[in-house]
Amino acid sequence: MNLTKEQEAKVKKLGINSFAQLALILPHSYEDLRLREEMQLHKAQLIDATVESVFRAPNSIQITFYVHNFAHSLQAVLFRPKPYMLHQFKVGERDYYYGVIECKSGHCSMSMPKKVSQIGSITPKYKTALRTDVMRRLTQELLTKENLLAEGLREKYVDELLRLHTPDESLLKSKELSSYTLEALKYTELFSYMRALAGKRRYFETIVSKECEYSSWSSTLPFLLTDEQIDAIKDIRVDFAKNVAAKRMVVGDVGSGKTMVILACAYMMDANRSILMAPTTILANQLYEEAQKYLPNLRITLVTNKSKKVSLEKYDFIIGTHALLYRELPEAGLVMVDEQHRFGTQQRNMLEKLVSSKTRRPHYIQFSATPIPRTLAMIESTHIDVSLITTTPFIKDIDSQVIHREDFPTLLDHIRAQIAQNNQVLIVYPLVEQSDVLEYQSIDEARSYWERSFEQVYVTHGKDKDKEDVLLKFREDGNILIATTVVEVGISLPRLSTVIIVGAERLGLSTLHQLRGRVSRTGLKGYCYLYTNKEKSERLDEFVKTTNGFDIANLDLKFRKSGDLLKGIQQSGAQFKWVDFAEDRDIVESVKNDLGIGLD
């Protein structure tokens, strides 16, 4: 933006950095300052009037106007007038005034008239950090066709945006925005955001650039990889062959087989070394065990807080927790982060920098088990490449059901039947300790009932320092695990058949899906019970109809409508006012094409 110092200060106050963003700050209303000879009731209207009399009451000013454009008198009233208003109405003065005219029993009056100087046009009004007249002048100076076209916006949308800031009669008459106007706003919002994202992307020379193959490894597996697992591996193989360090996010549904993609990456990187950081010791252990099983030719090690500090130079694949951040790490061709949203941005960046040279970076791949709408993935791919795994190696057979207090006896019968079959049950409570605010029991209140009624009941929560040990003991010996959402992502529990979520309506649909994903991990018949005191919940009723995480991500957006939609992806805090992620994929595609960004 080529601005004067004065314009720069105003733009900074608005918190924007492009003409497109300025165009998206729409007027909240319009003032029709054209003089008419006929009176328009219930609407704000301009009058050409002479003040005939002024009467000051304690909390109001009553004015009699002679209105020249109507050729008769009109009463007006100002309630709780500010001091400056007292000087705007002088007997005998003729000027232009603006206010809403109402008529009752043949008597017409104008409420809250104000003196105006600009007449003869339809004037936009803005609610911003700037005064409305200052904002109006700024848009007149900066919102030109030339400026908007120079940023790359399509001409047809530029014309529509300018119309909103320089309105005509048709815009005054319309009650709501037309579909074409909405399309222009959606396009501009996406264009502005994605252009900024693309500008943030940095390209570095890679430490390792190599042609890879994976089929000789995948052919030795005792199962077939899914088509989407293979697609993700192929995406990464193309990344590895480039001279630019990869930045990729692999998003997979619960149980979609991301672990095998991780192992394929380590296989393709081979002796050029891979490092993987997992959020918990349990997950790191599980990944280590899987790697030992399926990558017998690689030298693999596990790094946790309990590991001895030995040199890691001799290993091809280093798997660890955040303990990796406090070790001297050898240079690596590939860095991977599992369940990336469990780490802060600073931690993820630290790991990458620890194994970078001064000028070159490792390939960097993040894995997430939180499905996102495909449209959102396309938007994010302007900043980081995205691969989606939307299918699972086997169809999960999980019955989901919303239950209430009267269903508790039936639920107990189900729990007893599952334990008799050597299956396990998880009960998730909303809080650890009692709360006066919440109408549900906490873990502290409920645990004694379960411990009295059943054997081998284990309890853990987020503040429990021994939670990983508790989970391991439960996996081997337990019948019932009572927990908070600490188990949302974590240990694999092959015998877990049932999850019961207390106060389910309090949780986001993606969190409910993650919790449901704990069951039926090995093809076992699964059950998910959503316990609620609410008589009816459309969200929960919709949730139980599907087990596909990507469908649920769309549902989450439908019911949430606001908030940080990109949370857990880029932590960018983007909030879209006009874009509908479920409906606007075509507009995203056209923006990507216009920005010259290839589609995955």
For the chain, residues classed under CATH 3.40.50.300 are 205-389, 398-560
**What pLDDT sits at residue 355?**
83
* pTM of the model as a whole: 0.73
Task: Give the mean pLDDT of 174-191.
Answer: 89
Residues 20-31 have pLDDT tens digits of 999 999 998 888
**CB contact burial 562-599 (16+ within 10 A = b; e otherwise):** eeebbebbbebebebebbebeebbebbebbbebeebee
CA distance 23 to 20: 5
Count of other CB atoms within 10 angstroms of residue 375: 22
- Whether the pLDDT of residue 137 is over 80: the answer is yes
- Whether the pLDDT of residue 175 is over 80: the answer is no
Bridging pattern class, strands 107-115 and 72-79: parallel
Reduced to 3 states (helix: H, G, I; strand: E, B; else coil), residue 277 is strand
Which of the pair, 489 or 595, is modelled with greater confidence?
595
CATH superfamily of 205-389: P-loop containing nucleotide triphosphate hydrolases (3.40.50.300)
Residues 519-556 have pLDDT tens digits of 887 778 999 999 999 989 899 999 999 888 888 887 87
> Where residue 599 falls among pLDDT bands split at 50, 70, 90?
very low
> Where residue 491 falls among pLDDT bands split at 50, 70, 90?
low
Letter for the amino acid at 307? S
Residues 88-101 have pLDDT tens digits of 899 999 999 999 99
- Whether the pLDDT of residue 566 is over 70: the answer is no
CA distance 500 to 401: 10
> Where residue 568 falls among pLDDT bands split at 50, 70, 90?
very low
Contact between 35 and 46 (Cβ < 8 Å): yes
Fold designation for 34-115: OB fold (Dihydrolipoamide Acetyltransferase, E2P) (2.40.50)
Dump the DSSP string for 289-346: HHHHHH-TTS-EEEE-TTS-----TT-SEEEESGGGGGS-PPP-SEEEESSGGGS-HH
Q: Which of 304-308, 340-344, 362-366 has the lowest mean pLDDT?
A: 340-344
The backbone region for 270, taken as left when phi is positive above 0, alpha when psi lies in -120 to 50, beta otherwise, is left
> Where residue 573 falls among pLDDT bands split at 50, 70, 90?
very low
Bridging pattern class, strands 122-125 and 274-277: unpaired
Task: Give the mean pLDDT of 435-446.
Answer: 84
Reduced to 3 states (helix: H, G, I; strand: E, B; else coil), residue 15 is coil
DSSP 245: P
User: Residue 408 burial (CB < 10 Å; 0-12/13-18/19+)?
Assistant: exposed
CA distance 271 to 595: 38
**What pLDDT sits at residue 520?**
83
- Whether the pLDDT of residue 489 is over 60: the answer is no
For the chain, residues classed under CATH 2.40.50.140 are 34-115
- Whether the pLDDT of residue 177 is over 60: the answer is yes
Greatest mean pLDDT among 40-49, 182-191, 454-463, 501-510: 182-191
CA distance 104 to 439: 53
Q: Which of 4-18, 168-182, 226-240, 540-554 has the lowest mean pLDDT?
A: 168-182
Phi, psi of 438 (to 5 degrees): -95, 140
CATH superfamily of 398-560: P-loop containing nucleotide triphosphate hydrolases (3.40.50.300)
Look over the chain and give the mean of its residue pLDDT values, rounded to a whole number. 88
DSSP 176: S
> Where residue 306 falls among pLDDT bands split at 50, 70, 90?
confident
Closest CA to 76 of 101, 59, 57: 101
* Percent above pLDDT 90 for the chain: 55
